[in-house]
Structure formats: C-alpha cells, structure tokens
Amino acid sequence: MSADPRGIGMTSQRARDRLVDQIRQMGIGSEQVLNLIRTTPRHLFVDEALASRAYENNALPIGFGQTISQPYIVAAMTQALLCGDRLEKVLEIGAGCGYQSVILSKVAKTVYSVERIGALASKLRVRLHELRVNNVRVRHGDGAQGWAKHAPFDAILVAAAAIDIPAALTEQLAVGGSLVIPVGRRGSQELMLVTKTFNGLEEEVLESVSFVPMVDGIG
Ligand code: SAH
C-alpha cells in the first residue's frame, strides 16, 4: 500500500479526473458523488502491485476471491441513496477493502459496515485508522442479519448479490429510507432500489450488474 494519498503517475490527480469524466459520461450527475470519487485515494485500498490500475473504471481483486467494486457502481449506489440531506446512520453490507465505506463516511454521520471475512474486516479497521476515518464501525459478521442493535438505518447499501432481499435488512430500514442491493444469480443480477414508505416497500430496478455473491455465515 502506497502511503501517499495524493498519488503520482497513474495514481495522480489527472488519472482521477479522467475516471470522473468517464463516470459522468456513464450517467452519474451528482456533483457531490463525482467529487467524492475525485478525492478518495482508491490506490490505497488495493495492493501496491495494482495501484497503477486503481483509477481504471474496473473491479480489481482484493484477495479471498473478492473484488473492490467498479468505481462507476460505487458512484451509482451512493447516488441512489443520497436524497439531499446528510444521512445519520448508514448500514453497509460487504465492506471488503472499505473504499465504499470511506465514501459513505463522507455523506453520513455514522457508517455501520459488516464484512463476513474476518481477515478483510481486520485489515479494514487498520486502514480506517491510517486514513483517520473515525465514523465507520466495522463488524465481522453475516450481513444478511443486518446490525439490529443500531437500527433503524436511513440507508442500507449491499455490495454482494443476494438471491432474495434479506428480510432483516428491510426490517432495519427506517421509514423514508432506501436500500440499494444487487439481486439475482451470477450472470443475471439487477441492482434494486427499495424504498420504505408508510404504505410498505417500493421496488425499482436500476440496472444490470455483476457482483460477487452474498454468502451465508462468517468466514
Ligand atoms: N464494497 C466492497 C465490495 C467487496 S466485494 C469493496 O469495494 O471492496 C463483496 C464483499 O461482500 C466481500 O468482501 C465479501 O466477503 C462480502 N460478503 C459476502 N457475503 C456477505 C455477508 N453475508 N455478510 C457480509 N459480507 C459479505
């Protein structure tokens, strides 16, 4: 991990600006979200050997068969959850390397991040400390159960594809809150936006996506 958040060469500001241009062209209109992509040092979330590819608009391996999500998808999911106001509590399932967690930390008062692979959860705690991000709480656990102790959440973001939307997550969503989650099997997943209203849940399909699967239990 290169320690310099500013980056040089392929991790420079120019490389990040190019990435932001691409994401804008793909339809992300929120300046707030584009600015978060521009200012978050993605090269610090991948192994040093991959740092030169950190500002390509691709998923990259982070070990344990998992990937850091594609920047465009991180932007699309974050944009879907932002409704103007600053969010109080956000639940993130599948924290992985923590890139999305850090982006959420800039738009929420507190982020509660659950990761089922213990080694990734431990690595993330260290990384957050190094980056001086202190409003993200990390739990090693099965995200399908949510994090009941801190519910209800204003927004929930799931970064692993579920076959069905876990009931615990919609239960832990506040009225007026939104859940963004990839649903389906490998090869036929859709990113869904679920909104909780006084009358129940409203579902909207945002786009086709490709995420690693949500796995039961802890690893
Ligand atoms: N946003 C992360 C995405 C990582 S990939 C990043 O950009 O790094 C998806 C992550 O979801 C993996 O780290 C995987 O271990 C985790 N995951 C899969 N099933 C899970 C579950 N049931 N509970 C919590 N995390 C889960």
Q: What does each of the 219 residues of the chain score in pLDDT, given as a tens digit? A: 446 777 777 778 899 999 999 999 999 999 999 999 999 999 999 999 999 999 999 999 999 999 999 999 999 999 999 976 679 999 999 999 999 999 999 999 999 999 999 999 999 999 999 999 999 999 999 999 999 999 999 999 999 999 999 999 999 999 999 999 999 999 999 999 999 999 999 999 999 999 999 999 888
Closest CA to 146 of 122, 100, 181: 181
CA of 159 to the centre of ligand 1 (A): 6
Task: Tell me the one-letter amino acid at 85.
Answer: D
Backbone angles phi, psi at 211, to 5 degrees: -115, 160
Query: What's the pLDDT at 12?
Result: 83
Domain boundaries defined on the chain: 9-209
66, 67, 103, 210: which to mutate for ligand 1, most atoms within 8 A of CB? 66
CA of 209 to the centre of ligand 1 (A): 15
Query: What's the pLDDT at 105?
Result: 98
Closest CA to 192 of 165, 168, 172: 165
The answer regarding whether domain 9-209 maps to CATH 3.40.50.150 reads yes
Query: What's the pLDDT at 80?
Result: 95
Query: What's the pLDDT at 1?
Result: 44
45, 74, 115: which to mutate for ligand 1, most atoms within 8 A of CB? 115
Neighbouring-strand partners of residue 193: 180, 204
Q: Which two tokens stand for residue 16?
A: 């990040």
The span from the CA of 25 to the CA of 20, in Å, is: 9
Which protein residue's CA is at the shortest distance from atom 11 of ligand 1?
Answer: 94
The span from the CA of 174 to the CA of 193, in Å, is: 14
The span from the CA of 165 to the CA of 202, in Å, is: 13
CA distances from 162 to 44, 149, 155, 167, 184 (A): 28, 22, 17, 11, 6
Query: Could you tell me where the beta strands, DSSP code E, fall in the chain?
Result: 60-63, 66-68, 87-93, 108-115, 136-140, 153-158, 173-183, 189-197, 200-209
The span from the CA of 9 to the CA of 84, in Å, is: 35
Q: Confirm if 192 and 205 have CB atoms less than 8 A apart.
A: yes
Report the pocket of ligand 1 as residue ranges, CB < 6 Å: 62, 66-69, 93-94, 96-97, 99-100, 114-117, 120, 142-144, 159-160, 212, 214-215
Query: What's the pLDDT at 2?
Result: 46
Q: Is 69 a catalytic residue?
A: yes
**Closest ligand 1 atom to the C-alpha of 215?**
19
Q: Confirm if 97 and 45 have CB atoms less than 8 A apart.
A: yes
